Amino acid sequence: MSNSLSRRQFVGRAAAAGVAVSVAGSVDALYSAQPALGTSGPKIGYGPLVEDPDGMLDLPRGFSYRILSREGTVRPDGLQTPSRFDGMGVFPDRDGGSRLVRNHECSPTSAIKVVAPAERTYDPAAAGGTSTLVVDRHNASTKEFVSLGGTAINCSGGHTPWRTWLTCEETELKAGESGYTKDHGFIFEVDPYDDRRNVGPVALTAMGRFQHEAVAIDPRTGIVYETEDAFVAPLGGFYRFLPDRPGGGWGTLRAGGELQAMHIPGLPDLSVVQEAGAEFHDVQWVKVPDPLATTESVRAQDFAKPITGGYKLEGCWWGDLDRCVYFVSSFARTELGPKVDHDGQVWRLDPRKRTLRLEVIFTRPKPGSDDPEFDAPDNITMSPYGGLMMCEDGLGEQHILGTTEDGEVFKFARNRVNLGTPEEPSYGELSGVGFSADGRTMFFNVYTPGITYAITGPWRRRR
């Protein structure tokens, strides 16, 4: 590890709790990437989780949840709320409320498909899309409707600096496959405020057609960074999109641009990096020959230089203060293509210095030991109180975990909805985590059965 530790490593209490974590020589970046709201964050988290008597969601003492939306609920328009709640964007609304744009990762076989008006439907044969929820300052849901339909496997996405949501299709299926009438694997822009702009959905084709997961935008340059959640060989890429109209604003991404893939000399596979703090210089970008993937997947094309790949590249976000982009590799398994196993990586790319640094790695347990208590980070965000909030999409119980100002890992929420049996329990992943503009409320989803929660409590409490 390079540099002296300015904060304690994750491995302190994390190791005692069974969380196998290594972290970079300094975790200050995890706190300086986003301004804090007048606090340096909790010392050792918010305390142990209190069992919910209703069997829904365990939270620390003093925190409470409110259910905003549930899969299968009949809305005022007479339609049911669709299945598979995934990534979600949180936007400020008037009078201190919030607007949530929620993805539905639905395929034609989903239990409850997305049904949108024809004018807001891209492909009538596709079952995915987005819902928009309007929440007042008291976290009461006042409105819910489908804002985009006819898309496929809407996984995650990202905010734009001009307050719209980019929803990403995690698929490469073409017209004629699975009954689709159009090609899929694109990004779509959704306006959370003016639904008239969502009429006539337009695929942002220049941004590539592949298994999109999440995006993050540099507000100064307009460059869009994109992750690819590839789970079959070859490994997925990390991309950047150079827009022809970098000034931003609704619809500007439709003007086109150039899609490029990351190349790091001598590093074809991110999984081989096992030591937090490892840093790579001379990050390069190579042009994607065929962004539409007309004959073969983007990641399998003949690039001028071999692209640097990763397994299941998922969460992606922009750090406002350090002006760096962070992205997650959820896990890696050698039998699926990567060179080395791990249970999650968090990477930090500095576009100005052209460096890539492994900030966090969740290491695999040694042979014969128990599985780690936490694995497979997926959706991830910066807390306005410092540190990370990470949604788990792994084995066993599913949590939201946070990090303290000392770089320790703590459990913040545990999903208690059992989809299996008492003998063999099964829990839906957590997703779509984000905070309201004033920091008072954290929103997130349970993937299945679909539930959207609003969490409030003593965020500034220092235990």
Q: What is the pLDDT of residues 106-132, one digit of tens each?
A: 999 999 999 999 999 999 999 999 999
The reported pLDDT for the residue numbered 321 is: 77
Q: Is the peptide bond before 449 cis (omega within 30 degrees of 0)?
A: yes
Torsion-angle region of residue 72: left (phi > 0), alpha (psi -120 to 50) or beta?
left
Mean pLDDT calculated for residue range 184-209: 98
Lowest mean pLDDT among 41-50, 92-101, 104-113, 194-203: 41-50
Picking from 70, 101, 98, 68, the residue whose alpha carbon sits closest to that of residue 84 is 70
pLDDT at 364 over 90: no
What is the 8-class DSSP label of residue 396?
A: S
The reported pLDDT for the residue numbered 129 is: 98
Lowest mean pLDDT among 188-197, 244-253, 309-318, 443-452: 309-318
pLDDT at 312 over 80: yes
Q: Where are the beta strands (DSSP E) in 51-171?
A: 57-60, 64-70, 85-92, 98-104, 128-135, 141-151, 154-159, 165-169
Q: Residue 8, class by beta-carbon neighbours within 10 Å (0-12 exposed, 13-18 middle, 19+ buried)?
A: middle
Mean pLDDT calculated for residue range 29-40: 48
pLDDT at 8 over 60: no
Mean pLDDT calculated for residue range 358-372: 61
The reported pLDDT for the residue numbered 212 is: 97
For 122, the token pair is 């891209």
Torsion sign across C-alpha atoms 73, 76, 80, 86:
negative
Torsion, Cα of 213, 218, 222, 223 (10° steps):
-50
The residue count for the chain: 463
The reported pLDDT for the residue numbered 60 is: 95
Say how many C-beta atoms besides its own lie within 10 A of residue 259's C-beta. 26
Split at pLDDT 50, 70, 90, the class of 14 is: very low
The reported pLDDT for the residue numbered 344 is: 82
Q: Domain-by-domain residue ranges, the chain?
A: 1-82+374-463, 84-151+171-203, 208-293+303-364
The reported pLDDT for the residue numbered 220 is: 95
- Record the pTM: 0.91
Lowest mean pLDDT among 59-68, 86-95, 370-379, 453-462: 370-379
Split at pLDDT 50, 70, 90, the class of 165 is: very high
Q: What is the mean pLDDT of the chain?
A: 87
Lowest mean pLDDT among 76-80, 188-192, 284-288: 76-80
Split at pLDDT 50, 70, 90, the class of 336 is: confident
